[in-house]
Structure 1
Amino acid sequence: MAESQDGPDLVKGIALGDLPDGSKLVGRCSDEQVLLVRRGAEVFAVSATCTHYGGPLVDGLVVDDTVRCPWHHACFDLRTGEAVRAPAFSPLACWSVEQREGKIFLGEKLKRIAPKQRDEGPAEAPDKIVIVGGGAAGFAAAEKLRRERYQGSIVMLSDDEAPPVDRPNLSKDYLAGKASEDWIPLRAQNFYSKNEIDLRLETSATGIDVGSSELVLVDGSRIPFDRLLLATGAEPVRLTIPGADQPHVHTLRTLADCRTIIDSAGTARRAVVLGASFIGLEVAAALRARDIEIHVVAPDKRPMERILGAQMGDFIRSLHEENGVVFHLEDKASRIDGATVKLDGGGTLPADFVVAGIGVRPRTALAETAGLSLNRGVTVNAFLETSVPGIFAAGDIARWPDPHTGENIRVEHWVVAERQGQTAAVNMLGRREKYTDVPFFWSQHYDVSINYVGHAEQWDGVEIEGDIATRDCLLRFKRNGRTLAVASIFRDSESLEAELAMEHLRAA
């Protein structure tokens, strides 16, 4: 944290006038940084950094009795410290505050109090909840259920060999060698046993017996449920060209995938990345940090133009080229012959290994065999419930009615999956809480982070504030004069304000 945020000793107190109404201030309590927030006559004191990645909350946005992180839009309750919106799950510490003689004094750190059990919903919660999927949505649902003090059975199935991990890090700092593996698990292994979450790894379901409310596993055994959450996520699109099945051709989705790529990178000099998507270019940036020569092959005219537009696409290409990446755009790989990638355009590229980042597809087979309504994903209502009562879906597979665009949308974003898991959890307990969050994601390329809020599959105009080339900009993607999405670079506060404005439009 910057020295300017060290601030005054809050135990000794500060003048009330130093904290005007609506303002924030960072000070010290012994060796801890504390954020003071004033709202009218009340002053709140919480930890100064987000529990997700350590973002400085003093640069965040105060909304009612909450504060939102400027980096990845986590949200915390200022009264209790509770992490009320992903991607943060751990609470902030809270301190008591005393006002006397025109000054504000920090008191003792408060003991953690479990969130109060809410009164909404039926008196009797379901006895058995089963979650299929060990990714963002599945983990967030299980964690939320226990945080809501649900006392029933939770069985969580994952066909992965690792407990739920922080997947965005797999293509960013961890792959680049800048983060230890300690960062990667969303929670330590003992979290699941401590919270009586029956996490079953390397376990797959093959069917849902809707009539008897049972999940059928690959070994033929059955698990009964009162509520079922499908959070099966997405899987990488596989290459179908000759040579794609060779052991040095990789995709990146799991921790095991990432470890394999890191092992390959240990002895490699050159690699080819197929696809100029977010995942492909994040992999390219991470591997450049390991001093590997990188060539990116993609059919697009510009990287990520479909999502971010031409101007941002040109900037992203230049950014990667400045860092040594070589692009082969408007071209495709036609075959992989050993350590050589052959292109449709006739060129050849040497490659010690290949990473394919050509997209993902939702894993809807389980929902399809159960007869659930599908529409390029699993169709859910505003409460994330499928066409079969008692069965919910969240994350990459869910297509839900978006109140901002007025369309049914499906979004493959990590934070969206986590927040949908949280909403599905409370609705499985009988709450009727609509999922109305504005979609959000971030993408990291070297020292540049791009934040994106909203959802714009199509737009008819882009308004640019600031200058993309100097890495200080905000882009508004509009259709019929209405802002559907906002992308930004180093405009964190504006990104938060755009998110809030979209929320207000939804409620109007």
Structure 2
Amino acid sequence: MGLGCSKEKDIQIPEIGEVDADDEGIDAGRVEDYGTQEVREIKVTPEFTILMSQVEGNFYAYGSKCPHYGANLAKGAYLDGIIKCPWHGASFDVRTGDIEDYPSLDCIPSYPVKRDETGKLTVYPNNIGTYTVQRPMCSLQVKQDLYVIFGAGPGGLSAAQTLREIGWDGRIIMITKDDYLPYDRTKLSKSLGIDWDKIKLRDEAWFEAAEIEVMLSANVTSLDVEEQELTIDGMDETVEYHRILIATGMKPRVPISTKNGIIGTDLGNIETLYDLRDSRRIKEKSKGNVVVMMGAGFIAMEILPSLSLLARRVYVIHRSKRPYGITFGDSVGRVVQQHLLKKFGRNVRFICSDAIKKIYGNAKKNVWKIRTLKKRSIRCDLVIFAIGGIPNTDMILPYKPQLENDGFKLPHEPALGMQGGFIPVNEYMETHLRDHYACGDIVTFPCRSSVTTKAQCGHFGMAQKMGHIAALAMADRQPESIIETVPFFWTTVAGVTLRYVGYGEHYNHTVIFGDLNALKFLVLYKRGWKTVAACACNCDPIAAKLSFDLQDNVHYDEEYPEYITSIFTQKPISGDTIFGLKYTYEEDVNEYDLIAHIVQRSWVDRRKKDFKKAARKDVEYIHKPIMSIYEKLFYRKQKKFHRPTKLEIMAKYDPVRLNFQRLALYKDTRFRFARNFAFVRTRRTPTRRPIFY
């Protein structure tokens, strides 16, 4: 295993003895000039600056620009020796310059600092003009041990780099179906048709120096986790591995052409955005044509500015009331929509609360027009689906059926305990099967901010962090934990950048600072008294500073920190209210427990009986259809059974909405609940009949 057996993190602080005697150095002030949480910028040349900070009485000098995209770290957030980029949340240790959090792949330089007896500080910068430092990597020594990284996204690349940096000298193969080496996919939607050279993460020379093998355009047809082998299309032999990291990511969701779904999705000129080829194809096909885009999430809103400049007209059809749906809330979605209409209103149309029902084709079997659920007909030349993604885990074979003692075979079970295509992992990215790890969008991982204690997060930086943790576990190092990591996400729409920090699952109300219409605001997403996420627009570095507070589990009741009130002097206003809930309790109240409490209290008041509190832990806030077609057919054939009322069906599919309509369910005298089981009383039969859902 090479050097991978060490479990301690090496911290290499620059020594004063390394300074050249002829170097005069740069005056950095005196000891008493520095505060405990202060970052001071020192100009070395008119174009080159460095930063200086104090940590536990020691002074450290380091680079002033983030290696990711060159943001000025002096305008970021600093806390206890960690400095965070204001743009994308990359964090660095000021003592060593090492990466503490992604999306940056490189470190920042650190410089020796001398302190004399009088308290004068002198810094000795070397390599003036350099803002990026790559950590040293080991070379290939042991070819018998093979680690496979299945996927070349941010998580896979971060894992491969970490393995070499910590000294694992075995063989590494990165397998991807893409035609290019790893690149920044977040730029595909912001700049359609962009070249690979402008968004590449690592070039071919870096992989050769690290001695990491990369298999491009490799279509993996099956992954047998029991036999530990991969089958690749076009190869006669399988790839056998010792350990594997599955980082295949998500693939775009395309509705299947069915009678009950969207008819006509198998026609030509229907596109999704996944890789560079899709980006170039959308750019070419949209020039001078009418484009219909289904979806109003992050990808759709980032594509829209480029499409509006290329296409003759763009129709955005989405099911929600505003763009971004419940993720950002109605207030943020409204101002983003107004900004887009103000800038591209001549050829952009938003159609909300609707969806595509059927796509019609011409004689060449290409898109000709579409028809929506509300019977709108739109003539178009191109249809783009941007309605999210599904886990790219179809190639993972299920477990082989096992024989019981009586000779019967048990059915196939999903491999790695997959649920809906997602792979559950622990805090160290380990699956329940030994030597198998997973990271990125395809995993559900433990998260402190999640109501259900399991989260699924499709963020670029989170995928890199997961890959780093998985690499430490694969090399038998002491891995870090993903539980305390705070996600940091960013999106750019027509020149407006929104920075989102935290995990805002099931928030119930928002608090808004600033002016939404002026596009300078801060939105705090709260669950009860607890702040779970925040969205900042044109108010850097608030998002970076909030990430420190969320990581330390700091909450705000009435008083907010100075870095917020200094920018937004006016008092905040109450924003969106989700599910009619607005908590002011002193302790964190779980939404599910509160609903169960309301149900129990209603029973005691109305029935004068002390029923057992209903358990609502398994309730999901998803508005499902009132009644499926199968239930309609069932009740149509079985007429002797009581047909459920709208309130009864709401109790099954939407209990949250039910409980916030003044508990109308309990006013209906035809039935009642007892221990989570519904019974119906009719006039004809005195016996109680169960409702068949």
Whether these two folds match at TM > 0.5 is yes
Q: Report the counterpart of residue 278 of structure 1 in structure 2.
A: 298
CA RMSD between the two structures: 2.7
Q: Report the counterpart of residue 340 of structure 1 in structure 2.
A: 369
Q: Report the counterpart of residue 391 of structure 2 in structure 1.
A: 362
**What is the CA distance between 1:19 and its match in structure 2?**
4.2
2:417 aligns to what SS in structure 1?
A: coil
Q: Report the counterpart of residue 317 of structure 1 in structure 2.
A: 337
Identity of aligned residues (%): 27
Q: Report the counterpart of residue 36 of structure 1 in structure 2.
A: 52
- The counterpart of 1:378, out of the listed 423, 438, 454, is 423
Q: CA separation in 2, counterparts of 1:292 and 1:416?
A: 37
**What is the CA distance between 1:190 and its match in structure 2?**
2.1
- The counterpart of 1:168, out of the listed 186, 189, 192, is 186
Q: CA separation in 2, counterparts of 1:468 and 1:315?
A: 7
- The counterpart of 1:109, out of the listed 104, 126, 142, is 126
Residue type at the aligned position of 2:148: V
**What is the CA distance between 1:290 and its match in structure 2?**
4.8
Please give the per-residue CA displacement for 1:416-470, whole angstroms capped at 9, x wherever unaligned: 1111111111111113432221122111111211111222231222122223222
Q: CA separation in 2, counterparts of 1:153 and 1:139?
A: 15
1:30-179 matches, within 5 Å, as: 30=45, 31-100=47-116, 102-109=119-126, 114=135, 127-172=145-190, 174-175=191-192
**What is the CA distance between 1:187 and its match in structure 2?**
0.8
Q: CA separation in 1, counterparts of 2:53 and 2:312?
A: 46
- The counterpart of 2:265, out of the listed 244, 247, 264, is 244
Q: CA separation in 2, counterparts of 1:478 and 1:59?
A: 27
Q: What residue ranges of structure 2 are gaps of 5+ in the alignment?
A: 1-23, 362-366, 400-414, 555-693
- The counterpart of 1:416, out of the listed 440, 462, 468, is 462
Q: CA separation in 2, counterparts of 1:427 and 1:104?
A: 41
Q: Report the counterpart of residue 349 of structure 2 in structure 1.
A: 326
Q: CA separation in 1, counterparts of 2:489 and 2:121?
A: 37
Matched, 1:494 2:494: no
- Which stretch shows the higher mean deviation, 283-292 or 161-170? 283-292
Q: CA separation in 1, counterparts of 2:189 and 2:445?
A: 27
**What is the CA distance between 1:339 and its match in structure 2?**
4.6
2:326 aligns to what SS in structure 1?
A: helix
TM-score, normalised on structure 1? 0.88
Q: Which has the higher contact order (CA 8 A, sep 6+)?
A: 1
- The counterpart of 1:232, out of the listed 224, 227, 248, is 248
Cα distance 1:381–1:262, how it changes in 2: closer, same or farther (>3 A)? Answer: same
Q: CA separation in 1, counterparts of 2:460 and 2:293?
A: 22
Cα distance 1:459–1:153, how it changes in 2: closer, same or farther (>3 A)? Answer: same
1:87 aligns to what SS in structure 2?
A: coil
TM-score, normalised on structure 2? 0.66
**What is the CA distance between 1:352 and its match in structure 2?**
4.1
Please give the per-residue CA displacement for 1:367-398, whole angstroms capped at 9, x wherever unaligned: 45352101231111111111211101101110
Q: Report the counterpart of residue 256 of structure 1 in structure 2.
A: 277
Matched, 1:434 2:434: no
Cα distance 1:96–1:251, how it changes in 2: closer, same or farther (>3 A)? Answer: same
1:296 aligns to what SS in structure 2?
A: strand
Q: CA separation in 2, counterparts of 1:104 and 1:441?
A: 38
Q: CA separation in 1, counterparts of 2:96 and 2:179?
A: 36
CA contact (8 A) 1:126 1:227 kept: no
**What is the CA distance between 1:192 and its match in structure 2?**
1.6
The aligned length equals: 487
Q: CA separation in 1, counterparts of 2:27 and 2:124?
A: 10
Q: CA separation in 2, counterparts of 1:63 and 1:291?
A: 47
CA contact (8 A) 2:155 2:247 kept: yes
Please give the per-residue CA displacement for 1:303-358, whole angstroms capped at 9, x wherever unaligned: 11211112112112112111223201112223144353433333333434332101
Cα distance 1:38–1:180, how it changes in 2: closer, same or farther (>3 A)? Answer: farther
- Which stretch shows the higher mean deviation, 395-404 or 366-375? 366-375
Q: CA separation in 1, counterparts of 2:428 and 2:354?
A: 43
**What is the CA distance between 1:150 and its match in structure 2?**
1.4
1:187-206 matches, within 5 Å, as: 187-206=202-221
1:311 aligns to what SS in structure 2?
A: helix
- Which stretch shows the higher mean deviation, 52-61 or 480-489? 480-489
**What is the CA distance between 1:79 and its match in structure 2?**
2.3
Residue type at the aligned position of 1:189: E
Cα distance 1:96–1:204, how it changes in 2: closer, same or farther (>3 A)? Answer: same
Of the two, which has the highest radius of gyration? 2
1:171 aligns to what SS in structure 2?
A: helix
Q: Which protein is richer in strand relative to its size?
A: 1
Please give the per-residue CA displacement for 1:485-505, whole angstroms capped at 9, x wherever unaligned: 222212333222322222223
Q: What residue ranges of structure 1 are gaps of 5+ in the alignment?
A: 1-9, 118-123
1:303 aligns to what SS in structure 2?
A: coil
Q: Report the counterpart of residue 4 of structure 1 in structure 2.
A: none
